[in-house]
Amino acid sequence: MHKSGRPKIFIVDEIKQEMDLFAEILRDDYALLMAMNAAHVFEIAVREQPDLILLDSDVSDADCCALSRKLKLTEATRNIPILLISGATTPEEELVYFESGVFDFIKRPLSRPMVLRRVASTLVQKELGDRLAELSDKLGRYLSPQVYESIFEGTQDTLIGAKRKKLTIFFSDIIGFTSTTERMEPEDMTVLLNNYLDRMSSIAIEHGGTIDKYIGDAIMVFFGDPVSKGQKEDAVACLNMAIEMRKAIKEMQQEWFEMGIATPFRIRMGINTGFCTVGNFGSKQLMDYTIVGGQVNVAARLEQNAPPDQILISHETWALVKDDFRCLGRAPISVKGIQHSIRTYQVIGKADSAEEDIAGSLGEMVWPAQTISVDQNVSDALLRLRDSGEWACLVVLDGLSPVGMVTKVRMDEIVRRETDKALFLDRPVAAVMDKELLVLSVGYNLDEAAKRALAREGSYTFDPIAVTRNGEFAGLVSVRCLMQRMLSPDK
């Protein structure tokens, strides 16, 4: 109903006698707008927002069907009912009018009871429809848009039940949220958290994610149900969402800092793909559309192990998106209830994103490293590594060229497995070296070097790059440092 308390009716009729009759019948109970041509009907309807339009079917300067369609296809006017003032019509003509958006007819010759009844009943139905739409909108805020739409479109039942389906699951949370916010006033914390959740949720919805729940400052989203574009497409959409979230967080960190928060929030994100049980869980009185299963736990653990402001994904997700995104292999993690370790990858960015290219050459980032000749014994390598840090390594040289690498971690694992250690330690160092060492020249472009490093699958992406100058070993470049430079090219 219009704010004045009286419904507003917009009457468009070329016949003056009919206009006078409408005015006489309706002016005591309704606020009236009147036009004797259709030249500016659409603009007036958008501006004035009437509760009802009475439209002459024979108005000479407009196509009533086309005008009705335009009003119904416009967000601002789609809920305004249209009553068509007409003479005798055939069923075929009425069908065309109804399909164009006409709600009902007021047939000529006009009579006071008919006009009052048609107008009143139409406005009652509009008010009921508006109330239902408002209630529906309020209830929809408690459901993910995809779940809400599937229920109201009839493709989803509200019955207890579930199914198995392969989904891509996303978790994120704010690092140190409790410790950061305990010094804030509750009102300020509430505004801050809601603004953050609103920004992240908008991004999730934009990319087609189903928002499962908020757990304090944590967000759980999944892709692949109730709507799926395909397993690969769902996984790609999830990573696109996460990358946009990461970008938004950087913008929000600056905003928070300017608001006086000395240590702006940082987030972690984890993504996993696997079979889950998805559906309605709960009781007849209260249910939740959610997912359960071990793969959900894996996604949560990936998030817990992700570096600050970064995205950690499982091998299953990586296998689906490896052609679309640059990913750096990281250490496997263990998850309670799953016997094998989970291979993980850190998402650097999109594979074809020119804005993530980094200028420079490997020579700028070289650092010296210990070396050992390929013809020396394992015992020599062991002695060199014994007092070094956990991530120490020896670059194996064949003459002046690097041919492999021996890490302390790898050496310790091999030595523990050997039964005849004395005989083993006398073997040449080539027996334990990593033969998959990536070797590039000092002039290699940093962006191309990063692509080469990321193209290697599995644990090899941990290894540093061996750099040569004129064919001779010049030093190492840490892949992790190279990735950090890619993420923050200005530093």
Strands, E, within 283-380: which ranges? 287-292, 311-314, 325-333, 342-350, 371-373
The pLDDT value recorded for residue 146 is: 65
Please give the CATH topology (third level) of the domain spanning 156-356: Alpha-Beta Plaits (3.30.70)
How many other β-carbons are positioned within 10 Å of the β-carbon of residue 405? 23
Distance (Å, whole) CA 168 – CA 231 = 8
Q: What pLDDT, on a 0 to 100 scale, did the predictor assign at position 145?
A: 66
Q: What is the pLDDT of residue 159?
A: 57
Helical spans, DSSP H, in 331-469 = 378-386, 408-417, 421-425, 446-455
Sign of the Cα pseudo-torsion (335, 338, 342, 346, in order): negative
Q: What confidence tens digit (pLDDT) does each residue in 122-157 have?
A: 999 888 888 877 776 666 566 666 665 665 555 566
Long-range contacts of 476-480 (CB under 8 A, 24+ apart): 476/366, 476/367, 476/368, 476/369, 476/393, 476/395, 477/362, 477/365, 477/366, 477/367, 477/449, 478/365, 478/367, 479/328, 479/453, 480/328
Model pLDDT, residue 317: 96
Burial class for 277, CB neighbours closer than 10 Å (0-12, 13-18, 19+): middle
Counting as low any pLDDT under 50, the low residues of the chain are 3, 354-357, 491
Instruction: Kindly list the domain boundaries of the chain, sorted by start residue.
Output: 8-140, 156-356, 362-487
82, 55 contact by CB (below 8 A): yes
Cβ atoms of 350 and 241 closer than 8 Å = no
The Cα 243–Cα 13 span in angstroms is: 56
Predicted pLDDT of residue 354: 46
Q: What is the pLDDT at residue 356?
A: 46
User: 224 is written with which tokens?
Assistant: 């692949």
What gap in Å lies between CA 425 and CA 379, rounded to an integer? 5
What pLDDT does residue 138 have?
65
The residue among 306, 296, 293, 302 whose CA lies nearest residue 341 is 302
What is the reported pTM?
0.60
Tokens of 29: 């109970």
Distance CA 189, CA 270 (A): 25
Helix (H, G, I), strand (E, B) or coil at 109: coil
Q: Given this model, what pLDDT does residue 302 score?
A: 94
What pLDDT, on a 0 to 100 scale, did the predictor assign at position 143? 62
CA distances from 92 to 66, 68, 72, 98, 99 (A): 17, 17, 21, 10, 11
Cα gap 283→291, rounded to integer Å:
16
CATH of 8-140, one of 3.40.50.2300, 3.40.640.10, 3.30.230.70, 3.30.479.30: 3.40.50.2300
pLDDT computed for residue 3 by the predictor: 47
CATH number, span 362-487: 3.10.580.10
